Structure 1
Amino acid sequence: MANIRTGGIVEQSGIYKCTNTSCGNEITCVKGERVPPCRKCGNTEFRLVRATR
């Protein structure tokens, strides 16, 4: 699955990890909601770590 960006609509609920290598913050995203920016570093891109239902 491709990375998701802040403001985009989440297509797969799950745990997403910040792509900033010095951050590594993980967030929970729910299908149909908008992706927030990283609260730790402000990065705008995440990758799926673990999918949920």
Structure 2
Amino acid sequence: MTFAIVHAPEGSPVGLLAHPRDITGRFEHDRETRRRLRELEEELARLRGDATR
């Protein structure tokens, strides 16, 4: 969400502007990226024979 104070020509504040954005797509993409990274790290550990991960 973005906020801005709206000022009158003489400089006094007269209002507030709020602009919401839907970030659902970005959130889902980030979650998928983290999931894929976790899978790749697990696969790498398995290929290396690292049983501690």
Give the TM bin, normalised by the shorter chain. Answer: under 0.3
Indicate the structure (1 or 2) with the bigger Cα radius of gyration. Answer: 2
Structure with greater contact order relative to length (CA < 8 Å, sep ≥ 6): 1
| TM-score of the pair, normalised by structure 1 | 0.21
